[in-house]
Amino acid sequence: MKNKLKNKKSIYITGIILLLLDQIVKILVRTKMALYQEIKIIPKLFSLYYVENDGAAFSILGSKTLLLIIISLACIIYLNKFIIEEKLPKISYIPLGLLLGGIMGNLIDRIIYHSVTDYLSIFIFKYSFPVFNIADIAICLSTIFLIIIFIIDDKKEVNRSEKNDSCNRRRKSTN
C-alpha cells in the first residue's frame, strides 16, 4: 500500500490545504459575522451572506444531518480506496485532492455544528444562486474536471486498445 501511495501524496496534501483554507474562512465568518448578516462586495452581483445549511446542495435533505454524515464518510472511504488502488492520470491528483478536502470540510461542519456554514452569495441577471462556501466550490469544480479527465483518459485507452487489436490482426494475417 505504501508504494501505491508514494506518488499520490499530492492528492492528500491538496486535500489538507483545501480543508484548512475552508475551515479558516468558516471560522472567520462564524466569529466576525452575525447569522444572516450580509456584506455587499459588488452590489447586485456578489456579497458575503452568512447562513447555516442543515442540508446538502440547494438545501436538499434538510435536517438529515446523520444521513449526510454517513454519505460523506462513505464518499471519503470510497475515494481513499479509489486513490490507493487505481492507476490514475497525474492530472487527476489535484481535482481528487480538492474533492476529498471539500467533502471533509463540510463533514467537519456537520459533525461539530450540525449544519454547514455558507457565506458566498452571487446574483446574475437578477437570479440569486444558493449561498455556498469554498468546500462547495471545490466539490463542484473537481467533479466537473474529474469527469472530463476520465472521459479523455477512457478515450485514450480505447484508442490504444484499438491500435493493439489492429496490430495483432496484421501480425496474424502476415503469419
How are strands ordered across the β-sheet holding 38-42?
A: 38-42, 46-53, 116-124, 127-128
Distance CA 170, CA 63 (A): 62
Query: Active site includes 54?
Result: no
CB 119, CB 48: distance < 8 Å: yes
> Which of 22, 136, 154, 165 is flagged as catalytic?
136
Element (DSSP H or E) covering residue 168: helix 134-174
Query: Active site includes 154?
Result: no
> Which of 22, 109, 118, 153 is flagged as catalytic?
118
Give me 161's grid cell.
486498445
Give the residue numbers marked as catalytic. Answer: 118, 136
